[in-house]
Amino acid sequence: MNQIVQIRNLQKVFPKGNICIAENISLDIKEGEIFTILGKSGSGKTTFLRMIAGLESPDDGEISIDNNIVFSKNKNLEPKNRKVAVVFQNYALLPHLSIASNITFGSDASKQDLEDILEKTKLKGQENKLPHELSGGQQQRVALARALINKPKILLLDEPLSNIDTELRAHLRAELKEMIKAFGITALFITHDKEDAFYLSDRIAIMAGGNILQVGTAKDIYHHPNDLYCANFLGKMTQLSSNTYIRPEHIEISNDGILEGIIKDIIFYGSFYEVIILSKNKELLIHSFDDKLEIGQEIKYIFNGEILEF
Ligand SMILES: Nc1ncnc2c1ncn2[C@@H]1O[C@H](COP(=O)(O)OP(=O)(O)OP(=O)(O)O)[C@@H](O)[C@H]1O
């Protein structure tokens, strides 16, 4: 697979407050993949995306898109010359403009381009409506159509799913993935939400304090976190010794177990139970599907998955 975005030694410090926002970041994004930057608020995700888009200047380093250097010591291409398009939080649609005008706003796309994109985003027949007359899913498609009409090489998505209520969010997330994959476009998605990242991404980079801590598939980073920060960020764990940890799904309540404990609490999460076990004065977290367990019950357990060591 071709590398469509190549980032080398990217550095950026905001002088006010001396905030290091990119500390020597190097990474590659492959053609056709959905690549996610996952990090807590303030980790530097938005600034990173803005540097790729050309909306913020790095202090040092190099960015190439589609084999063209768009930023280096001697070069800083305008956003419109970078073959990128940005989908902003809440889509940033213009409320008083028709769907057609929203899609073509600021673009020199032809009538045929508009027709094509309306067709591809299943918005044919909606072009004369105003944004508020469309459903959440349709509004998202307008935002994608507006981004895609200029045929960018990479789609940059700045937390498009935040501030949307849970039910609609799940629907929009599914449609977003379907659309991106149908267009076959490379996408860089930034989010603080682990679930969105796991759902959408081919690969994920974990960002903290302007650093990329780990890059991999969701499975890679969940099962083989590089450090304790990544491990904790991606899911719950029980500490077993000074440097060993285990995920709740890797402890099993079983009569074959040689370790013993007593159930201290059971929390119902809908599709599974989180069971807190007291064993040798230590609390262990277990995820279980067994709906016969009771608080106070004596149980035996085994470790049935990898023990993480840092
Ligand atoms: N123009 C600026 N000047 C000074 N500091 C800035 C500027 N833009 C962002 N920052 C600071 O840089 C840090 C990272 O901001 P950034 O928005 O890139 O992070 P983020 O991970 O996207 O967070 P969020 O999800 O909250 O937007 C924050 O502490 C922010 O206050």
Instruction: State whether 159 and 276 are in the same domain.
Output: no
pLDDT digits (tens, 9 = 90+) for 101-125: 999 998 888 999 999 999 999 999 9
CA gyration radius, the chain: 23
Cβ(36) – ligand 1 distance below 6 Å: no
Ligand 1 nearest atom to the CA of residue 43, by list position:
21
Q: Quick check: 137 pLDDT over 80?
A: yes
Compute, in angstroms, the gap from residue 47 CA to the centroid of ligand 1: 6
Average pLDDT across the chain, whole number? 94
Q: Quick check: 1 pLDDT over 70?
A: no
When pLDDT is averaged across residues 205-216 and rounded to a whole number, the result is 96
Q: Which of 201, 229, 257 marks a domain boundary?
A: 229
Instruction: State whether 207 and 276 are in the same domain.
Output: no
Instruction: State whether 75 and 180 are in the same domain.
Output: yes
Compute, in angstroms, the gap from residue 39 CA to the centroid of ligand 1: 12
Provide the residue type at 242 as one letter.
S
Q: For residue 96, is it within any domain?
A: no
Domain that includes residue 272, residue range:
237-309
User: Mutation test of ligand 1: which of 19, 190, 213 has the most ligand atoms closer than 8 Å to its C-beta?
Assistant: 19
pLDDT digits (tens, 9 = 90+) for 60-92: 999 999 999 999 999 999 999 999 999 988 788
Nearest CA to ligand 1 atom 13: 42
When pLDDT is averaged across residues 161-173 and rounded to a whole number, the result is 84
Report the CATH number that the domain containing residue 15 is assigned in CATH: 3.40.50.300
How buried is 95 (Cβ within 10 angstroms: 0-12 exposed, 13-18 middle, 19+ buried)? exposed
Q: For residue 212, is it within any domain?
A: yes
Report the CATH number that the domain containing residue 298 is assigned in CATH: 2.40.50.140
Report the number of distinct structural domains present in the chain: 2
When pLDDT is averaged across residues 179-196 and rounded to a whole number, the result is 95
Q: For residue 25, is it within any domain?
A: yes
Is there a contact between 52 and 44 (Cβ–Cβ < 8 Å)? no
Q: For residue 70, is it within any domain?
A: yes
Amino acid 17: pLDDT: 78
Instruction: State whether 156 and 300 are in the same domain.
Output: no
Beta bridge partners, 252, equal: 302
When pLDDT is averaged across residues 162-188 and rounded to a whole number, the result is 90
Residue 35's nearest CA partner among 284, 207, 269 is: 207
Q: For residue 50, is it within any domain?
A: yes
Residues 6 or more apart from 43 whose CB is under 8 A from it? 207, 208, 209, 210
Reported ipTM: 0.93
Taking the C-alpha atoms of residue 163 and residue 120, their distance in angstroms, rounded to an integer, is 27
Q: Quick check: 165 pLDDT over 90?
A: no
Cβ(163) – ligand 1 distance below 6 Å: no
Q: Which of 205, 229, 253 marks a domain boundary?
A: 229
Which tokens sit at 1? 């697979």
The confidence band for 54, taking pLDDT boundaries of 50, 70 and 90, is: very high
Instruction: State whether 42 and 163 are in the same domain.
Output: yes
Q: For residue 290, is it within any domain?
A: yes
In three-state secondary structure terms, 10 is: strand
Q: Where are the alpha helices (DSSP H) in the chain?
A: 45-53, 99-104, 111-120, 136-148, 166-183, 194-200, 218-223, 228-234
pTM: 0.92
Q: Which of 210, 229, 248 marks a domain boundary?
A: 229
Amino acid 19: pLDDT: 80
Compute, in angstroms, the gap from residue 28 CA to the centroid of ligand 1: 23
For the CA atoms of 166, 172, 177, 179, what is the dihedral angle to 10 degrees?
Answer: 180
pLDDT digits (tens, 9 = 90+) for 12-43: 998 887 888 888 999 999 999 999 999 999 99
Nearest CA to ligand 1 atom 31: 42
Taking the C-alpha atoms of residue 12 and residue 248, their distance in angstroms, rounded to an integer, is 38
Is there a contact between 59 and 13 (Cβ–Cβ < 8 Å)? yes
Ligand 1 nearest atom to the CA of residue 56, by list position:
1
pLDDT digits (tens, 9 = 90+) for 238-293: 999 999 999 999 999 999 999 999 999 999 999 999 999 999 999 999 999 999 99
Cβ(192) – ligand 1 distance below 6 Å: yes
Nearest CA to ligand 1 atom 4: 14
The confidence band for 44, taking pLDDT boundaries of 50, 70 and 90, is: very high
